[in-house]
């Protein structure tokens, strides 16, 4: 069972990870308050490509959040964190892809 104090954290965590891993801005809308007898936690947010929370709804009422997103920041994050052309090292994982069966590690 999910602990109540972690619900919002767990709600935002995969979105923050996705923003960071893909170096993109994320805008997520969430319902809040009581609807048809169900309590909805809300938590609408805008997340930067760094994974940081740029804007976050603060209430359980109808609310609009706004953030001026610097689209060049996504490019900067992509280059700084996930520059695969610069950091890709196929020589380091070729043996894993070529191995057909389990075997002892090399000496």
Long-range contacts from 36-44, C-beta under 8 angstroms, 24+ separation = 41/7, 41/8, 41/11, 43/8, 43/11, 43/12
pLDDT at 9: 94
pLDDT tens for residues 39-79? 899 999 999 999 999 999 999 888 999 999 999 999 999 98
Q: CA 17, CA 63: separation in Å to the nearest integer?
A: 24
Instruction: Give CA 41 to chain center in angstroms.
Output: 19
pTM for this model (two decimals) = 0.76
């Amino acid at each position: 069972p999910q602990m109540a104090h972690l619900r919002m954290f767990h709600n935002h965590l995969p979105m923050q990870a996705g923003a960071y891993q893909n170096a993109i801005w994320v805008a997520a809308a969430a319902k809040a308050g009581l609807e048809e007898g169900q309590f909805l936690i809300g938590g609408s947010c805008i997340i930067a490509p760094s994974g940081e929370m740029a804007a976050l709804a603060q209430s359980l009422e109808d609310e609009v959040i706004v953030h001026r997103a610097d689209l060049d920041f996504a490019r900067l994050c992509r280059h700084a964190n996930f520059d695969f052309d610069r950091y890709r090292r196929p020589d380091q994982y070729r043996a894993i892809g070529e191995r057909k069966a389990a075997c002892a590690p090399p000496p």
